[in-house]
Chain A
Amino acid sequence: MALFGSFALILALVLSFYSMAAGAFALYMGPRADRLAETARRAGIATFIAVVAAAVALVVSVLNNDFSLEYIREHSNIALPTAYKFAALWSGQEGSLLFWALLLSAYAFVVRVKYRVDVKLTAYASVILAAVQFFFLLLVNFPAPPFALAKGTIPADGNGLNPLLQYPEMVIHPPMLYLGYVGMAVPFAFALGALIMRYPGEKWIHITRRWTMVAWLFLTCGIFLGAHWAYSVLGWGGYWGWDPVENASVLPWLTGTAFLHSVMMQEKRGMMKVWNVWLIFITFLLSIFGTFLTRSGVVSSVHAFANSPIGSWFLTFLAIIFAFCLFSYIKNRAHLKSENKLESLVSRESSFLFNNLVLLASCFAILWGTLFPVLSEFVQGKKVTVGPPFFNNVNIPIGLFLLFLTAVGPLLAWRSTSFDSVKRNFAIPAALALLTAIALIAGGMRPWEEAANFYALMAITLSVLVFASISSEFIRGARVIRGHTGIGWAASLVQLTRRNTRRYGGYIVHYGVLVICIGFAGAAFNQTNEQELGLNDSMAIGKYTLVCRKYTQDDTPNYGTELAILDVYENGKKLETMYPERRFYKSSQQPSSMVAIRSTIQEDLYLVYAGKNPDNDKPIIKAHLNPLVSWIWTGVWIIVIGTFVCLAPNLPAALAAPRKPAAGQAPSASNGNGSASSSSSPPRDTVEVGK
């Protein structure tokens, strides 16, 4: 299998080079080289098949416990459950680079198969994707080969998978994150291709809109699955530690989010063309940068792979991409002239612009804090680490301002909004937000006592503002449809959403964001208690009492375990039994916590088996009470639903509910949109509902 895998990788490298070189030459030659262009496209498709063959070879080798391969010896063992053996594909440096190459090839495969959407633009994008593929295939063929043979005698068993990775979410978190990182290569390739060929118009944005949203969704899911994994496995009671590799995943997410918003300005008003092109360039560069951070060992992180020379490869690649983007921009910048200018600071455009500036400010602050140890060492010769307080102090106010913009943006008009219009749209949402703040203070919140309380109050108040402003958009739109068609409220809301999935799906995503923000606000009220618990001993945290019923040990082929059995009581009534556990993995000789969590809408009771007293063998239990954490995971589900709505095509006008017949008039066959619903005729004095 090693021979077959290595051969498939060399073949993929050659094919990707051919796809890049022949594709570029064919574009230079023009229509005379159409046959050559077709072979380049097919070579790109063939690259995918070769990379799949290599990945299959590696998975088969892992499943067969082929410890003659260095990679498998390092990342698997015989007793490892099959799902985790499969996850070994991306658990080490070499395998995860192969996985990167596989996902990139899969994305590029779809782009090349759907090339008829715009043959020439796709040809440019295909060449750029082939260049990125070539780089990753160079890595897995030379500095990080996954099929390298183990030195010395072949061991009977492997070293096993890192215990921190032996958790169900770890089987899906890295693929999600990688799908997000890699997916950004597609809009990047189209944007760069459109710039190089001076593509007239904004069709490249239409072509890549779904690609960008899919990549963004994967990145979002990957980030939050990582947060959930950290919460459930690392046992420190939190979900986000501002670890450099966590930060690296957020950077392209922030710029990608900015891009998703600002492209609307380009589509609607032909503005911000330079900004958008650079946003997607930076998003892709940050995706590669995140991969570099994880692999180079340049920063210390719980996630990072060991120090390796691969970092210099990534730095060189980053420099080449940046230089190429800059060159293409300078050469073709005249093509990116805006068709309109910002007319007023109180407009939808300016809210998008502020949203972008705020997201980029957050991105820069996180990048600065992440690289500060490296920069300080370079300048002062001493490594100075920046901790969570820095990231929180900078990002919480930024996040609150962003939440404010999320509330304001949808209520503003394009071009300019009058004071009358502001008053009309903001009165009710602002009043509701104000009432919420008053109710929270009356309920005992003291924002003047601690900054955390102030931020929590602001987060909840602004979340209510967002909720009210988005809801008013839904209600107003549904009211128009209801008046127009006579259907009920629920059907009107569904039809409104289906008529403009992008807009109303986006609002659903914003609902998810506000739910997540409320979940974050809960962290201001976290409680912790730690205690040694003997048989029938009890400890209290918040409204709960924990009673130790038993502490015991167990043994499996993969790991040995110590666990405590704790009954949870509230006001004397037993709620449930919880089992915090500490495992010791035999192959890797490493411990790992299995946290017990009781999650409700109000709070999480989070129990950690922190160790045992060596004198009396009694377990030491650390209990955390974390309010509103479940809101974060719920918010992510809402974001997923919202993004799926955005991805769905709009309901064709012909399928819309018929217009309500006027009194004494028979229902007509018309869909109620009038002739002006056709995009080829001007919509004078007509209303196409929901559009």
Chain B
Amino acid sequence: MIIAACALLFASLFVYVFAPVANLAHGEQKSRLTYLRERKDVIYENLRDLNFEFKAGKFPEPDYIAMRAGLEDEAAQVLAEIDSLERASAQIR
């Protein structure tokens, strides 16, 4: 009985591991462009946070303007790089 249980466990796990798979999931290499798009989303979220905190009265206006300008500069750099990468990939295609 115990031997049969061991054999059953072995056989079922062997079949599960080595059975052919119809649809294999392929791991794609993450590109710089994907990363920049993620980064852009984060910066936008930071901007929304900042707006909300300003509305909540946490910062005086001069602080808010300076912080907002900093984040917008960051966003502009990311957007510029996204743009150039997208153009480059369009030219290759």
Contact = CB atoms under 8 A, between A and B. Distances in A.
B42 to A, nearest CB: 7
Contact of B63 (A1, A120, A199, A417): A417
A477 B52 contact: yes
Contact of A689 (B10, B52, B60): B52
A430 interface: no
A270 interface: yes
Nearest to B3: A3
Contact of B59 (A46, A421, A679, A683): A421
A46 B26 contact: no
Contacts of B51: 683, 685-688
Contacts, number: 143
B34 A201 contact: yes
A148 to B, nearest CB: 17
A201 B30 contact: yes
Contacts of A119: 25-28
Q: Secondary structure of the A side of the interface? A: helix
Interface in A650-691: 676-677, 679-683, 685-691
B25 A203 contact: no
A42 B18 CA distance: 8
Given A11-B10, A46-B17, A202-B38, A120 B53 contact: no
B6 A687 contact: no
Interface in B21-48: 21, 24-32, 34-35, 38-39, 41-42, 44-48
Contacts of A1: 2
A7 B24 contact: no
A689 B49 CA distance: 9
Nearest to B68: A684
B85 to A, nearest CB: 12
Contacts of B29: 120
Contact of B60 (A38, A203, A420, A687): A420
A31 interface: yes
A486 B31 CA distance: 44
B26 A31 contact: yes
B75 to A, nearest CB: 6
A676 B26 CA distance: 34
A4 B47 contact: no
B42 A687 contact: no
A115 interface: yes
Interface string A1-29: 10110011001000100100000000000
A116 interface: yes
- Indicate the size class of the contact surface on chain A: 35 or more
A228 interface: no
Given A4-B6, A15-B17, A42-B16, A116 B25 contact: yes
Interface residues of B, number: 48
Contact of B58 (A45, A121, A413, A681): A413
Given A39-B17, A120-B28, A201-B35, A476 B63 contact: no
A7 B30 CA distance: 41
A687 B52 contact: yes
Contacts of B31: 200
Contact of A35 (B9, B24, B38, B60): B24
B52 A4 contact: no
Contact of A115 (B2, B5, B16, B25): B25
Contact of B42 (A268, A421, A479): A268
B35 A200 contact: yes
A186 B34 CA distance: 24
A415 B67 CA distance: 8
A477 B56 contact: yes
A11 B58 contact: no
B63 A49 contact: no
A476 B54 CA distance: 10
Given A411-B58, A683-B48, A687-B55, A200 B32 contact: yes
Contact of B30 (A34, A199, A415): A199
Interface of B: 2-3, 5-6, 9-10, 13, 16-18, 21, 24-32, 34-35, 38-39, 41-42, 44-53, 55-60, 62-63, 67, 70, 72, 75
Task: Please give me the 10 A-B residue pairs with the lowest Cβ-Cβ distance, nearest first.
Answer: A120-B27, A119-B27, A476-B56, A200-B35, A201-B35, A46-B13, A7-B6, A688-B48, A679-B41, A42-B17
Interface of A: 1, 3-4, 7-8, 11, 15, 18, 31, 34-35, 37-39, 42-43, 45-46, 49-50, 53, 115-116, 118-121, 123, 199-203, 267-268, 270, 411, 413-418, 420-421, 424-425, 476-477, 479-480, 676-677, 679-683, 685-691
10 contacts: A35-B21, A49-B13, A200-B35, A202-B38, A414-B67, A415-B67, A417-B63, A480-B56, A687-B52, A687-B55
